[in-house]
């Protein structure tokens, strides 16, 4: 499908060189988006996990874990660690 752009208020069809350049730009954009996909998924909470809570919610969980004495190996049983771990497991960082 041909592409067009505005030049002096008129629609002008892309030249073959412009089409090729635009194809390269689009491929680059797709590659960039794929390279940070895991970040966006973690932030937005896709799949079956709700994603990361707000900083305030995370700090509150961390406070309650510390207040309950969740240190060392026990820290891995706290609500903050369990919640963060579930998001990381659902959306592994891809290289």
Q: What is the pLDDT of residues 52-65, one digit of tens each?
A: 777 788 889 899 99
Q: Dihedral (C-alpha) 41, 45, 46, 48: value to the nearest 10 degrees?
A: 140
Is 21 among the domain residues? yes
Cβ atoms 79, 95 nearer than 8 A: no
| Number of compact structural domains in the chain | 1
Is 95 among the domain residues? no
Give percent above pLDDT 90 in the chain: 36
Is 24 among the domain residues? yes
Q: Which domain holds residue 81?
A: 4-90
pTM exceeds 0.85, yes or no: no
Which residues fall within 8 angstroms of residue 75, CB to CB, at 6 or more apart?
Answer: 65, 81
> What confidence tens digit (pLDDT) does each residue in 73-93 have?
888 899 989 988 888 888 776
Is 83 among the domain residues? yes
Is 81 among the domain residues? yes
Is 36 among the domain residues? yes
17 vs 88, which has greater pLDDT?
17
79 vs 45, which has greater pLDDT?
79
């Amino acid at each position: 499908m041909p592409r067009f752009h505005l030049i002096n208020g008129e629609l002008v069809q892309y030249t073959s060189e412009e089409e090729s350049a635009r194809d390269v730009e689009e491929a680059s954009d797709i590659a960039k988006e794929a390279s940070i996909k895991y970040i966006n998924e973690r932030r937005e909470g896709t799949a079956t996990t709700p994603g990361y809570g707000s900083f305030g919610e995370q700090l509150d969980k961390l406070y309650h874990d510390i207040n309950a004495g969740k240190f060392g190996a026990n820290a891995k049983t706290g609500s903050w660690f369990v919640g963060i771990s579930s998001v990381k497991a659902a959306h592994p960082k891809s290289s």
